[in-house]
Amino acid sequence: MHNLKDIRNNIDEFKLKIKQRKVDINFDELIDLDKENRIFIQEREKFEQEKKKLSKSKESKNFEKSKELTIQIDRLSDKQQKLKNKLDLILSNIPNIALQDVPVGPDEKSNKIIKKKGEPKKFEFKIKSHIELGRENMSFETATKLSGSRFVVLKNNLALLERALINFMLDIHTKKFGYIEVSPPLIVNENIMFGTGQLPKFKSDQYEILTNSDEENKYLIPTAEVPLTNLMRDSIIEAKKLPLRFVASTPCFRKEAGSYGKDTKGMLRQHQFYKVELVSFTDPENKQEELDRMLSCAEEILKLLKLPYQIVLLSSGDMGFSAEKTFDIEAWIPSENKYREISSCSSCGTFQARRMNTKMKKQ
């Protein structure tokens, strides 16, 4: 989340940068609410100081004045809180600002290919899709009976392959690259989803769990990024302990609310899937270096599997809500004769840290 003071002092830049993110934010309303909010705060503080002075006096008439001031302070506090709630709602829906070297554009057509590795093999026969190859050990029909559309049941060698790939990736990231393996909860609180940017803007994409009316809302995680990043929520991290690097393999749950009819054939855009997630906490001064390192760790998997791939730098309009810079790794899919995104590495700057109240302490 952005600092309101930063927006106030750089309003024109924010208007331009957020427009480049293909998001419509009413900054004029935000600035007006900010001004009004600060006026209420000043008035309340003035009454509080006056009340403090009266409290030092023992005269009975000052007691009545103090009671009147308390009523005025409560009224102002109530009005100010309502204003603050409106401000926070607008702020929470403003995406991160793209870094200077991110291509400016509305969608994936403005993305930039920065690297290709490996040559796609040529075959003299028709390539079968994953659906055709896995027909005996992959059932969408059975999954539909169990859970509805866009789920799959894997068995025998396909279930073994899924588990083997997960273990392979975890071993590489922990033993070769020093990530700390974590087994996090799959159900999180509403404020945890807010911390990484899934809420409030993308609530329609989340699986919310029904609870008793007096309980806080809970959600199935859409990615292990959510619990891994929030491990440091409400924390002050000593700079000398950075970077902190975590990895986890979890099921992920997404409604994919805006993707019906789009790339949903077979195992694409499922409501449930496994993913190995990497998360790093680093000094903001070293964020580019850490992003490059994370990208190389993800690349290593493709290299070891000997899969042709390309790396794409996403445009301002194609990045995720919390990202300030994103690289996609796209693997070559022979049956489709094209590259498809299979991994994504992003820098979020201080955006998520502000939402989670995570701070760094330098010596």
**What burial class does residue 104 get, using C-beta atoms within 10 Å of its C-beta: 0-12 exposed, 13-18 middle, 19+ buried?**
middle
pLDDT in the model for residue 64: 74
Rounded CA-CA distance 306/31 in Å is: 53
What is the rounded average pLDDT of the residues 183-193? Answer: 97
pLDDT in the model for residue 50: 85
pLDDT in the model for residue 60: 64
Closest CA to 323 of 191, 197, 194: 197
Higher pLDDT, 58 or 35: 35
pLDDT in the model for residue 257: 66
Least confident interval from 51-60, 135-144, 291-300: 51-60
pLDDT in the model for residue 261: 54
pLDDT in the model for residue 268: 87
- Asked if residue 58 has pLDDT above 90, the reply is no
Share of the chain above pLDDT 90, in %: 82
What is the rounded average pLDDT of the residues 148-173? Answer: 97
- Asked if residue 246 has pLDDT above 70, the reply is yes
pLDDT in the model for residue 54: 78
The mean pLDDT value of the chain amounts to 93
**Termini Cα distance of the chain:** 26
pLDDT in the model for residue 49: 86
**Strand extents, DSSP E, 156-227:** 180-181, 187-189, 208-209, 218-220
DSSP structure string for 210-276: P--TTSPPEEE-SSTHHHHHGGGTT-EEEGGG--EEEEEEEEEE---TT-TTSS-STTTT-SEEEEE
pLDDT in the model for residue 349: 97
DSSP structure string for 113-139: EEEEES-----SSPPPPHHHHTGGGEE
pLDDT band at 39 (very low <50, low <70, confident <90, very high): very high
- Kindly report, residue by residue over 298-339, the tens digit of the pLDDT: 999 999 999 999 999 999 999 999 999 999 999 999 999 999
- Asked if residue 95 has pLDDT above 60, the reply is yes
- Kindly report, residue by residue over 340-359, the tens digit of the pLDDT: 999 999 999 999 999 999 99
- Kindly report, residue by residue over 140-155, the tens digit of the pLDDT: 999 999 999 999 999 9
CB 229 within 8 A of CB 257: no
Beta partners for residue 141, in sequence order:
none
Closest CA to 88 of 191, 188, 157: 191
pLDDT in the model for residue 259: 55
What is the rounded average pLDDT of the residues 53-70? Answer: 76
- Asked if residue 160 has pLDDT above 60, the reply is yes
What is the rounded average pLDDT of the residues 245-260? Answer: 87
Rounded CA-CA distance 259/109 in Å is: 18
pLDDT in the model for residue 216: 82
Q: Say which residue the tokens 């293909």 belong to.
A: 22
Closest CA to 51 of 70, 28, 32: 70
pLDDT in the model for residue 266: 83
DSSP assignment, residue 240? G
Question: What residue type is 301 in one-letter code?
Answer: I
Question: What residue type is 297 in one-letter code?
Answer: C
DSSP assignment, residue 336? T
What is the rounded average pLDDT of the residues 70-96? Answer: 92
